[in-house]
Amino acid sequence: MYRLFLIIGLLVLLFVLLKSIYRSSKQVGRPAPPPLDGDQMVQDPVCGVFVPRKTAIVQQVGGISNCFCSQECAAKFEEQRTS
Ligand SMILES: [Zn+2]
């Protein structure tokens, strides 16, 4: 008798667990919300690499902001622009 309750209890636990897994996997399948400004991917015009805007190095040139993956690329761009 004791065992029966234990098995039922385990089954219920398993059922709840599976249900939560199913629910979370369904959430993963949903389309992601539009990215916020900080999560936007921007392209480095020097090396062509995409970087998140919040981690990119932004340089304002004549009202246009250029985003770079590193200070190195920003310097390279500046070199090309001024030469
Ligand atoms: Zn770069």
Q: What is the pLDDT of residues 4-63, one digit of tens each?
A: 889 999 999 999 999 988 888 776 666 766 555 667 899 999 999 999 999 999 998 889
Q: Are residues 26 and 41 in the same domain?
A: no
45 vs 73: CA distance, rounded Å: 9
Q: Are residues 75 and 48 in the same domain?
A: yes
| Residue 44 alpha carbon to ligand 1 centre in Å | 5
Q: Are residues 27 and 45 in the same domain?
A: no
Say how many domains are in the chain. 2
The residue range of the domain holding 77 is 37-82
The pLDDT, as a whole number, for residue 83 is: 82
The string of pLDDT tens digits covering residues 62-77 is: 898 899 999 999 999 9
Buried-state track 39-63, b at ≥16 Cβ within 10 A, e below 16: eeebebebeeeebebeebbebeeee
pTM for the structure as a whole: 0.53
| Residue 57 alpha carbon to ligand 1 centre in Å | 10
Check if the beta carbon of residue 47 is closer than 8 Å to that of residue 69: yes
Residues with CB in 5 Å of ion ligand 1: 44, 46-47, 49, 69, 73
Q: How far apart are the first and last CA of the chain?
A: 88
Q: Are residues 46 and 60 in the same domain?
A: yes
